[in-house]
Structure 1
Amino acid sequence: MADKKKNSSITPVELMEVCARRQPQKNMMDNIPFCQQCHNKFGFKVFVFLLVLCLDAADLVSDWLLFRDVWSAKEGLVYGPPEDAVKYSLMAFSILGTLTFIFEISNLWWEIFRRNPWMDVDLLSAIVVWIEDVPQIAINVVIVACREEAISYFQLVKASLIIVGAVIRIIVTLVRYCSKSARKDLECAKVNTESRRHVVYRVFIMLGLFVTLGGAITIFLFTQSERNPDGSLNFKVPHRIVEGEFDDQKYFTNVSIYFSHSYFDYEANPSAGSKNLIRLIKLNDIKSTNNDKSVHIEYDGTYKFQILVDGQKECYAISKSTTQVTRETPCSALINPQQFAFTFHFIKPSVPSLIFGDITYALKTGTSTNCETPTFKVVDNLATLMNDPYSALLRYYRTKPGVTEDNHISKTSTTLQFYHASDLIDIADVWKTGFAYCKSSGSPAPHKGDNLNVKCL
């Protein structure tokens, strides 16, 4: 109490005299508030050094593991690699983090064992926090906000450790800043430039650490909860120790592969909205089997066509004059038929490169005796299709509520008609990913596959 009264009643002149020269800062070991009799023992110094080394190394390893996951991501169903700006920023700050880690640990060695660090500890900490920790956590938040996490107890622990690590760093830093020498700097900040500079360093360090803690809490929320359309949160409950399960049906329910070709257009100059689309096969039907799926469309010059999938055939006839589509039962014979022969192959998920896997395809056209790779382009969006009338469209869509999926052609209570864009939800609107509903980075259509066997009828 006497010291407090003395400090509170000290005059400006006396303060100038007391703070005229900043006292040398105590060694990190001397600022540890407990086990003071162990501060100079070699074994205790080694323990403290290894503890700090392990914490910083764990943080560095987690940064590089995230970089590996991001860099290895491939374009597949729903997910693909992040934008190049995110990837290269993450790489740059991971490299920078490695360099600062090496320098910081070397500086720590000289401080603990030689009591002569290369650089002022407060200045170095401020630099590391703001050029490495804060950018890393910010990039991490951006990536995790758009990712799908397979919730498991391992993932829960992993996300929790990010918060625990941030809290430990704040507590350790607060303990250091409550030391006698740190309090002295605060008292002398108004009259001593060096003390004021160190107070500024510490303010920036604490601000950076709290930003890091906020980012860690945000990452925890993103990985352990999902946002409902109304904005409310649902926390995921782990069911497994390590390998969690992805909620893939929110992405794949009622999603199919659709096909469009000029043969099926009965308008002379169709618009994008009136382009006729045929539903080939559901994504879940491809994903649920270990075998490749074959889809055949046979057609002739009389505007009749037949679709064959898994032995199930649907036959239709188009009236060019009335624009009506009728289903034929039984199927009539086609005259000199030609065909589109598809083979679809499901590539199984491989975390983290392909979270939901991917679908590849091969296509051949022609007759039963002359079935070859087509010369026209296969595009994945209507705008490109409209610019090149000789191309064909292959793309994922989801049917809107109330639109049936019983047939390859849309069926109402009274008529049959081709699918149109107005009947479907574009896959870019279906595959909004992560807590932030980010734009999908996955492929909007199957990729062209290599060495797939296509059997023509």
Structure 2
Amino acid sequence: MACLRSLGKLIVLLVSLIADLFDFVSDWLFYSDLVFAKDGLVFGTHEDLIIRMSFVFCIIGSVTFVGEIILNFMEYHKDNDTIEVISEFLTFSTLLIEDLPQIAINVRIAICREEATNTVQIVKASAAMFEVIVKLAFVWIKYFIKRKQGGRESSRIRKGISIFTSVILLTILGLCGTVFFLTTNFQKTQIEFDSDGLSGEESDKYIQGVGIFMRLNASHRQIHNMADHQWIRLVGLQDVTRLSDPSTGITLSCMFTAPPIVYIWVRNHSTPAVDTLFCYKEDSKVIYRIPTQNCSDTFSMTSNITTVSLKLTYIAPNRQQPLGDIHSNVQVHLNNCTEEVQPDIVTLKYFRVKPEVKDSMTFTSTESDGQYHYYTVPDDLMSVREAWRTGKLMCESTGRDSPKINRDLGVTCLH
């Protein structure tokens, strides 16, 4: 009988240690995941308040982790009601001031990021769930054993602690289930830890109709100046994210002749043969699409040309950027690439084109047949801050609203 009792105490000690250690490690993994998150497509960094709160709870958890280990070993080596009551009270306190807030933070993140299932979110919820089951079992096993052995006063104290502890444990269990539901909806036959890219429903929800737009803003007499609300569409987001080799990216050039009559020529240099995408003529604020050969002839006969050369690449999804990111580099040259100017005259930004607006061309068509105009905000374009609202509560997008500038991307003047 003594051997069985000793074996039972050893099992309780080992299982408690495993549960506490699992929870301790998952706490710090969860915190590191919050700290190292990067901004990218749709999802960005976490709020400073959430990061600071998680750090504080991790510190509290580390202190109580050490205290629980010490008390567990003391319980294993010596039967003492006082030690056991202190241990149970510490368990109750840890659950209330550390485990419950941590899983609540996890739920808050899952509410806004349910599509971007994250490994650490699942691990943290699993650790908390395992700890709940273990502690719930041990709390009531200990209580009923002590009650059977007698001791009314001790039983009343233990009963109160056990009831309050059980309520918190069941609350945590419910919150863990919420995390699983929000991240998987219990509908996936297989949980895809971390996003595997913008595909399927994610593509339709986040990037369908979203493009990369450009605006020129300069006082130079030769450079075509655009109003703050006017934008030129370069390429759809899907055209970059769905390349056969997204890391190689897509290279574009936009050429503008000097005012007053402006010719605009957009080309794709990623293919073996340079591919003309669109060619236009802007005269007295009226824009017409013209044949490619006319554009080529026009640009061959003038030296007053502004050339914007761009490289866009897609960074694959990772733990820090659940849906990946777009990197860009831009160069601006004048006079057939003989003079380089600062690239900050070019602004790139993501927009979603409104459903009723045609979105497949550099400019959008007007009601007048054969005429086009700049995409404008808010008539034609919707901010991705609005378009990329996420989660059940439609949380504001935390990702960047433009590609990330990466000067390491190789780009030369394309003419």
CA contact 2:57–2:101 (8 Å) conserved in 1: yes
Cross-structure match for 2:272: none
Q: Secondary structure at the match of 1:259?
A: strand
Task: For structure 1, list consecutive stretches of 5 or more residues without a partner in the other structure.
Answer: 1-35, 189-193, 226-234, 378-390
CA contact 1:45–1:113 (8 Å) conserved in 2: no
Residue 52 (structure 2) pairs with residue 98 (structure 1): no
> Are the structure 2 counterparts of residues 167 and 45 from structure 1 closer, same or farther at C-alpha, using a change threshold of 3 Å?
closer
Cα separation, 1, equivalents of 2:341 and 2:84: 67
CA contact 2:224–2:256 (8 Å) conserved in 1: no
Q: Secondary structure at the match of 2:38?
A: coil
Cα separation, 1, equivalents of 2:119 and 2:105: 24
> Are the structure 2 counterparts of residues 81 and 163 from structure 1 closer, same or farther at C-alpha, using a change threshold of 3 Å?
same
In structure 2, which of residues 89, 95, 98 is the aligned counterpart of residue 132 of structure 1? 98
Q: Secondary structure at the match of 1:126?
A: helix
Cross-structure match for 1:409: 363
Deviations 1:265-314 (A, max 9, x none): 67xxx5x6xx2110011111112232232221111223222222242242
> Are the structure 2 counterparts of residues 136 and 239 from structure 1 closer, same or farther at C-alpha, using a change threshold of 3 Å?
closer
Counting only pairs closer than 5 Å after superposition, residues 174-213 of structure 1 correspond to structure 2 as 174-181=140-147, 200-213=160-173
CA contact 1:257–1:397 (8 Å) conserved in 2: yes
Q: Secondary structure at the match of 2:375?
A: coil
| 1:432 aligned partner, one-letter code | R
> Are the structure 2 counterparts of residues 242 and 392 from structure 1 closer, same or farther at C-alpha, using a change threshold of 3 Å?
closer
Greater mean alpha carbon deviation, residues 360-369 or residues 162-171:
162-171
TM-score (norm. length: structure 2): 0.82
Residue 324 (structure 2) pairs with residue 369 (structure 1): no
Q: Report % sequence identity.
A: 27
CA contact 1:150–1:245 (8 Å) conserved in 2: no
Greater mean alpha carbon deviation, residues 292-301 or residues 168-177:
168-177
In structure 1, which of residues 218, 222, 226 is the aligned counterpart of residue 178 of structure 2? 218
CA positional deviation for 1:396: 0.5
> Are the structure 2 counterparts of residues 160 and 196 from structure 1 closer, same or farther at C-alpha, using a change threshold of 3 Å?
closer
CA contact 2:99–2:128 (8 Å) conserved in 1: no
CA contact 2:44–2:399 (8 Å) conserved in 1: yes
Cross-structure match for 1:123: 89
Deviations 1:422-444 (A, max 9, x none): 21221111222234332112111
Greater mean alpha carbon deviation, residues 240-249 or residues 357-366:
240-249
Deviations 1:397-437 (A, max 9, x none): 11111222221111246231111112122111122223433
> Are the structure 2 counterparts of residues 98 and 161 from structure 1 closer, same or farther at C-alpha, using a change threshold of 3 Å?
closer
Cα separation, 1, equivalents of 2:95 and 2:122: 25
CA positional deviation for 1:203: 3.8
Residue 349 (structure 2) pairs with residue 395 (structure 1): yes
Cross-structure match for 1:257: 212
Cα separation, 1, equivalents of 2:9 and 2:137: 20
Residue 309 (structure 2) pairs with residue 345 (structure 1): no
Cross-structure match for 1:46: 10
CA positional deviation for 1:39: 5.0
In structure 2, which of residues 402, 408, 411 is the aligned counterpart of residue 445 of structure 1? 402
CA contact 2:64–2:90 (8 Å) conserved in 1: no
Greater mean alpha carbon deviation, residues 238-247 or residues 256-265:
238-247
Greater mean alpha carbon deviation, residues 94-103 or residues 241-250:
241-250
| 1:307 aligned partner, one-letter code | V
Task: For structure 2, list consecutive stretches of 5 or more residues without a partner in the other structure.
Answer: 218-222, 270-274
Cα separation, 2, equivalents of 1:443 and 1:182: 62
Q: Secondary structure at the match of 1:129?
A: helix
Residue 227 (structure 2) pairs with residue 278 (structure 1): no
| 2:230 aligned partner, one-letter code | N
CA contact 1:151–1:238 (8 Å) conserved in 2: no
Cα separation, 2, equivalents of 1:121 and 1:256: 58
> Are the structure 2 counterparts of residues 106 and 165 from structure 1 closer, same or farther at C-alpha, using a change threshold of 3 Å?
closer
Count of residues paired in the alignment: 383
Cross-structure match for 2:188: 237
